């Protein structure tokens, strides 16, 4: 009786390298339909909420872009890390510290402050994220600490720092005891691109980041060194590339991009620092980076898809009575189906006769 077996490919499949994320999305949608049916909800309405409502009007598209901007910025930085074989899992903490640093600058504004302060808010966010990422780089460089554990644990430290500030010294005395800073002055707010929309210059900075990271990775010697160090550390050392420099470069770029995302959020759509700044963007951006194949252009599309999941989850909660955690469910489904579908890059499915022995050395 024929059986389905996995056979190793002679070389990775170029087709499935790009087709795997699309197949993963299809599988996620199919599982989502089953999930809606099991929850007693209309699957068609559920898919409409997730994939049509976020793009049905100009305002909806604007909100989609607002959500996609921080995801794309953080994912761009993570792509540099992952291509360099540096596993920064703590971008959420770097995002929080960027938001804190940017808020500190914004809170200095007074009636005499000019619009120039926006530049310092953005710069403060970048430096805040870089400073937090440098702790991971320092511990890895000096003590060979595992950057996965260090960067992840620093996320929880960042959350505690945020809580201390909004419940303590930065708490708005006229905020009716809510744990938040005062609303930032209008002069500190990130300029918007369109009237009646929350889309800010952050999306322009994100697109500049796409071009910048692409040029860095694929058109510069430094970017080549980063990728060689990730793919073949021994060859990198033989070529004279510094592993220390690659470590610091990757983490500082990643931290800076995450910090920039945090600055754009607090001085943009949020307008103040609150305990709800951590929205899981730093973790969701890991999925964005891998669905986008660690390529700057691919991550543009995966960031839009992930922002659909965020908005769809919020709409499903308000319009269909589904739990807010559904957003995380769809994110997890996309990641796990991608991991499963990536098997097809290096293996192929074939029907074989169960009675016939496989040739020695495997199929060619």
Question: Rounded to whole angstroms, how far apart are CA atoms 364 and 66?
Answer: 48
Q: How far apart are CA 289 and CA 269, in angstroms?
A: 23
The SS3 assignment for 192 reads: strand
Q: For 279-319, how does the pLDDT look when each residue is reduced to its tens digit (9 = 90+)?
A: 899 999 999 999 999 999 999 999 999 999 999 988 998 88
Q: To the nearest whole percent, how much of the chain has pLDDT over 90? A: 78
Angle between helices 14-38 and 296-320 (to 10 degrees): 0
- Judging by DSSP bridges, how do beta strands 2-8 and 347-353 pair with one another? antiparallel
- 340 vs 121: CA distance, rounded Å: 42
pLDDT at 36 over 70: yes
Give the pLDDT confidence score for residue 195 in this predicted structure: 83
Interior CA angle at 299 toward 310 and 294, to 5°? 125
With residue 4 as reference, give the H or E element that holds it: strand 2-8
Q: Is the pLDDT of residue 363 over 60?
A: no
Mean pLDDT of the chain: 92
Query: Using CA atoms, how far apart are residues 64 and 72, in angstroms rounded to an integer?
Result: 12
pLDDT in tens, 110-140: 989 999 999 999 999 999 999 999 999 999 9
């Amino acid at each position: 009786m024929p059986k389905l077996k996995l056979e190793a490919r002679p070389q990775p499949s170029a087709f499935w390298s790009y087709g795997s994320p699309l197949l993963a999305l299809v599988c996620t949608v199919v599982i989502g339909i089953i999930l809606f049916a099991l929850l007693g909800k209309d699957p068609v309405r559920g898919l409409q909420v997730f994939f049509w409502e976020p793009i049905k009007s100009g305002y909806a598209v604007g909100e989609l872009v607002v959500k996609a901007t921080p995801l794309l910025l953080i994912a761009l930085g993570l792509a540099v890390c992952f291509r360099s074989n540096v596993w920064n899992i703590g971008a959420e903490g770097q995002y929080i510290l960027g938001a804190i640093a940017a808020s500190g600058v914004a809170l200095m504004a007074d009636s005499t402050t000019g619009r120039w302060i926006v530049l310092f808010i953005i710069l403060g966010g970048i430096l805040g994220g870089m400073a937090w990422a440098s702790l991971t780089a320092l511990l890895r460089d000096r003590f060979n600490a595992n950057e996965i554990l260090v960067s992840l644990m620093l996320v929880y430290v960042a959350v505690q720092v945020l809580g201390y500030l909004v419940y303590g010294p930065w708490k708005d005395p006229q905020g009716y005891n809510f744990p938040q800073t005062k609303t930032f002055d209008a002069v500190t707010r990130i300029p918007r691109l369109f009237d009646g929309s929350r889309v800010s210059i952050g999306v322009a900075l994100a697109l500049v980041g796409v071009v910048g990271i692409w040029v860095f990775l694929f058109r510069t010697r430094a970017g080549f060194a980063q990728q060689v160090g990730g793919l073949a550390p021994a060859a990198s050392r033989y070529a004279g590339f510094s592993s220390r420099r690659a470590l610091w470069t990757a983490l500082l770029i990643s931290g800076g991009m995450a910090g920039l995302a945090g600055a754009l959020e607090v001085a943009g759509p949020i307008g103040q620092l609150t305990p709800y700044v951590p929205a899981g963007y730093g973790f969701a951006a890991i999925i964005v980076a891998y669905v986008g194949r660690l390529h700057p252009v691919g991550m543009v599309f995966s960031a839009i898809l992930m922002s659909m999941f965020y908005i769809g989850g919020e709409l499903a909660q308000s319009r269909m009575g589904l739990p807010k955690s559904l957003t995380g469910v769809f994110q997890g489904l996309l990641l796990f189906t991608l991991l499963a579908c990536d098997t097809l890059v290096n293996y192929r499915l074939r029907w074989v006769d169960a009675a016939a022995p496989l040739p020695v050395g495997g199929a060619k």
